[in-house]
Homo-oligomer: A and B are copies of this chain.
């Protein structure tokens, strides 16, 4: 029922080949023919058939993105939308369609593998590993360019782009130290979340270098309540503390709240810094300093990387780590 290229060509009085050239942006078409084809297409409401296109052209002009389950650190602090925006923008700019997949079961994963291997996409971006996932390996084997978002488990020879969580944790901590704070606590994320672990390591490194105690550490659930509870435990355990670095803005907000309820002034008594520089950070009272990870850039770089991998096949894997940036607000201003 939908119009075909053949019909358009006939209506325009040219051959199918010429009509095809018009739609594939081939410049070797006379202005006259081009106009005829375009108006015929408009008239008939022609839309090229994607299946036929990919079959004949051996490419689909689309890139698959496999997103993780919610609960991943990417969903905290609104990271996911920013990442997808970065990816989407870069792909769009290259005329490619971003296609998302959210597999939920093992069966889904299997079907997805078939789908991705079946030529529906030209390349794949993997946003987080479902544990012991065979997907990346299988895709590699099929020669489908693949790039990870975030560091995959070590030992895999794959391309990835990551933000530097370690440097982020270090930077946040150093900022507090430069402020003159000495009894600095850290509210870490769950131990099994890789990014959170690296932030903790960054904290430890900075404290170690400054010869400060690095054992005021509590783990929280990454959300506001987690921060509130962890703060309570920290105060009970460590007594007076003059700064807190939380592994997420939500936890920092919770911690700040707990401090204020107990009569501590922020930043006068206790400086607080969060992580991710989410919208939340600007909305707290006082506004929260935070570490801004270039997540949009990460998305853009992932897209660029996978595009370059698809352009020239047989390339070796490439890695990239993007540095963080401090976003200083009232919660860590110098007051003494």
A binding-site residues for B, Cβ under 8 Å: 1-2, 45, 47-55, 60, 62, 67, 69-70, 78, 81, 84-85, 88-89, 92, 95, 97-102, 104-105, 107-108, 111-112, 114-115, 117-120, 141-143, 224-225, 261, 283
* Cβ contact within 8 Å between A118 and B48: yes
Q: How far is the CA of A111 from the CA of B98 in the complex (A)?
A: 10
* Cβ contact within 8 Å between A120 and B47: no
* Cβ contact within 8 Å between A55 and B49: yes
* Cβ contact within 8 Å between A143 and B1: yes
- Cβ-neighbour of A99 out of B70, B99, B283 (below 8 A): B99
* Cβ contact within 8 Å between B99 and A111: no
CB-CB under 8 A for A2 and B142, given A47-B118, A50-B119, A118-B49? yes
Q: How far is the CA of A330 from the CA of B261 in the complex (A)?
A: 24
Q: What is the count of identical protomers in the complex?
A: 2
> Among A51, A55, A60, A97, which residue has the most Cβ atoms of chain B within 10 A?
A51
* Cβ contact within 8 Å between A102 and B100: yes
Instruction: Using A51-B120, A70-B81, A92-B104 as known contacts, list a sample of 5 further A-B pairs with CB atoms less than 8 Å apart, ordered by residue number in A.
Output: A51-B51, A51-B55, A69-B81, A88-B108, A98-B101
**How many whole Å from A114's CB to the nearest CB in chain B?**
6
**How many whole Å from A52's CB to the nearest CB in chain B?**
5
Residues of B within 8 A of A225 (CB): 283
Q: List 23 A-B contacts (CB under 8 A).
A: A2-B119, A45-B141, A47-B117, A47-B118, A48-B114, A49-B119, A50-B118, A51-B119, A51-B120, A52-B55, A62-B115, A69-B81, A70-B81, A84-B102, A88-B102, A88-B104, A92-B111, A97-B111, A97-B115, A98-B102, A99-B101, A100-B101, A225-B283
CB-CB under 8 A for A100 and B100, given A47-B118, A70-B78, A120-B51? yes
